[in-house]
Amino acid sequence: MQGGGMARDTYAYRHVAVESRAINGCVEIRPVPGQAFSPELAVQCSRRLVDLQRYPLGSRFLLFAKLTDRLGGTPFLYAYHGDADVPMTPADVTKFLGEFRRGRI
């Protein structure tokens, strides 16, 4: 959008199942394996999701995210930090990945 507006291009965003992991001594968010995005891809999202007092390590969430590279840097997934937290149970993740594999997402 021109003019510096804050509207999100919702067509660029996709639902992505992510999980918290310990990487190099830090809690990071990464895509759950089995989707279009590499499980090694960095995810920029609300810091609430890496707060171990809120969510234990290994917690999984559903994000509405887009792939970006911010001026030609390393690609990463971006989810707006103001979006609601959407925790996923193991059954939610299994169902989501099944729908992804069937081409519904």
Tell whether 59 is covered by a domain.
yes
Tally the domains of the chain. Answer: 1
Instruction: Name the pLDDT band for 9 (thresholds 50, 70, 90).
Output: low
Q: Residue 95 is part of which domain span? A: 14-102
Tell whether 7 is covered by a domain.
no
Instruction: Name the pLDDT band for 6 (thresholds 50, 70, 90).
Output: very low
Tell whether 90 is covered by a domain.
yes
Strand partners, 65: 14, 79
Tell whether 28 is covered by a domain.
yes
Tell whether 77 is covered by a domain.
yes
Tell whether 4 is covered by a domain.
no
Q: Supply the DSSP symbol for 84.
A: P
> Around Cβ 29, how many Cβ atoms within 10 Å?
26
**What's the mean pLDDT in 28-45?**
96
Task: Give Cα 81 to chain centroid, integer Å.
Answer: 11
